Amino acid sequence: MVQKSEKFKMAFESHRNGQLTLACDLYKEILKDNPQNHEVLDLLGVLYCQVGKFCESEELIKKAIEIKPLIYYYENLARLYFQKGEYCKAINCYEDIISGGGDNYENRFNLAMAYKNNNNFGKAEEFYKKALELKSDSHEVYFNLAALYLAQIKPQKAIECYKKAIELKPDDWESDYFLALAYMQSKDYKNGLKSFESRLCRQSAILSQHKTYPNLMEEKKLWQGEDLSDKTLYTYYEAGFGDILMFYRFMPELASKCKKIIFKPQKELVPLLKENSYGAEIMDLFKPENEFYFDYHIPFLSIPFVMGKQGQDMFVHHDDGYLKANLDKVQKFKEKFFNNDKFKIGIKWQGNTFYEKNRVLKVEDFFPLFELDNTQFYSCQTYEGSEEFGKIQEKYNVINLAPEFNDFSDTAAAVENMDLIICNDTSLAHLAGAMNKKCFVILPYLYNWRWHTDLTKCDWYDSVKLFRQKTPDNWQDVFSIVKKELKQIIY
């Protein structure tokens, strides 16, 4: 018969090795014989937290604390609250731990993280710095403190911290990447574009091409600024639709430097870019390697760096826009949806939520705008988030254009018929800006680097106006300002 001490060792070893089912069963067997075993109660609580059984986890850890209030158990409870997203409870827990004898580096750091996630940036900064008092060479503190500054649109402070993080960990590509964003947020593109070359999507794009064209990619060089006047350049997409649309401003200049340029964008962009090719060959499908040729290649977002862009030359402006809609499609959309004398407004509330989920707008915040006289609203929401249109349909006469959109050429034709676009930070904003169509972009409190620090203007697009949350998660106040501005335009 296995003794309890041996059973505990087996359970703990199984837990440590990731054999969670076995560990769970053994912990339960021990508790059946000794329900007051606070150490096992705590460990089983930690295990439940690992598998997302938060209620059971909280109950067990609290029971362990009742039996023996060890600081270690309180730390596990605080971690549980943090993992659940109950940051106020985590903060209270960590503050009690620190004041009760658990004042160490890890708890100061975790308290800072809890404050940051609870949008209390002042206290987060305070405890990151307190953590540094105990561990001055902490890479993770400098990295997270830099991220805090970057999110608060304090790029110079972020730059200092990212540099320190890189000094402590020289091979840290992630810090180098975010350092690039901090530089670019402050419009220092000379340094920013150099660090931006460390981005993960660049490596992924190159790796993808190696898999598609293994021999060509092995033979041909990455373009680093060589003369292209008698050469063929192959460039390919990376990142999102908005990134490609924003950087497409460089295509006319790039095309003029090449004997031939071949561009492979995402399939959804192909028809639009074929209509705006500037002499480039826009690939819709990958060609067989034995039928394909190029002299140099480059990921698309590396183009301004290799072209030597440094500051204001990043913001290449085209007075009438650098993307045009297909005129036949424009007419078809006009006849079907836009043949009225109302002020026509396209809306979108959600883009790709893989990154920066705080960019998603609340559909309900658009509702007061729908009540304005002499307006006709059109939903441009496709894919993820399109199910929210049902909330609009129940109450308001908003036309859903999503079923008409097969690609960005269709979207551009609809946009050309509109007087204004109102949307979140998404590809539609970049499309409208590239077409020189009037657009209101609604930004969250913590917004993306590309909008820089001065939101009174949009550096990338003359036709775009930026509206930002004054406080996190408060869209209502932003839409009140948008509504006031809209009235001034319409009436």
Q: What is the CATH number of the domain that holds 431?
A: 3.40.50.2000
CA 457 – CA 451 distance, rounded (Å): 9
Q: Is residue 182 part of a domain?
A: no
Q: In which residue are the tokens 């962009």 written?
A: 269
Q: Is residue 441 part of a domain?
A: yes
Task: Compute CA distances 405 → 151, 195, 402, 411, whole Å.
Answer: 34, 37, 5, 6
Q: Is residue 8 part of a domain?
A: yes
- DSSP-assigned states of every residue in 208-277: HHHHHSHHHHHHSEEPSS---TT-EEEEE--S-HHHHHHHGGGHHHHHHH-SEEEEE--GGGHHHHHTT-
Structure tokens at 340: 């009225």
Of 26, 48, 64, the residue that ends a domain is: 64
- DSSP-assigned states of every residue in 33-97: H-TT-HHHHHHHHHHHHHTT-HHHHHHHHHHHHHH---HHHHHHHHHHHHHHT-HHHHHHHHHHH
Q: Is residue 405 part of a domain?
A: yes
How high is the pLDDT of residue 473? 87
Domain count along the chain: 3
Question: pTM for the whole thing?
Answer: 0.89
Phi, psi torsion values for 459, nearest 5 degrees: -65, -30
Of 284, 314, 344, the residue that ends a domain is: 314
Q: What angle do CA 339, 341, 347 make, to 5 degrees?
A: 80
Q: In which residue are the tokens 């993306």 written?
A: 448
10-residue mean pLDDT profile of the chain (491 residues): values are 73 95 95 94 96 96 96 96 96 96 96 95 97 97 96 95 96 93 95 94 94 95 96 96 96 95 97 97 93 96 95 82 97 96 96 76 95 96 91 92 97 98 97 97 94 94 96 93 95 87
Residues 306 and 236 in one domain: yes
Q: Is residue 171 part of a domain?
A: no
Structure tokens at 105: 């580096």
Q: What is the biggest distance separating any 2 CA atoms in the chain, rounded to whole angstroms?
A: 87
Residues 306 and 432 in one domain: no
How high is the pLDDT of residue 316? 79
Q: Is residue 154 part of a domain?
A: no
Q: Is residue 221 part of a domain?
A: yes
CB 168 within 8 A of CB 149: no
CA 278 – CA 253 distance, rounded (Å): 9
Give the other-Cβ count within 10 Å of 407's Cβ.
14
CB 409 within 8 A of CB 329: yes
- Domain range for 476 is 327-490
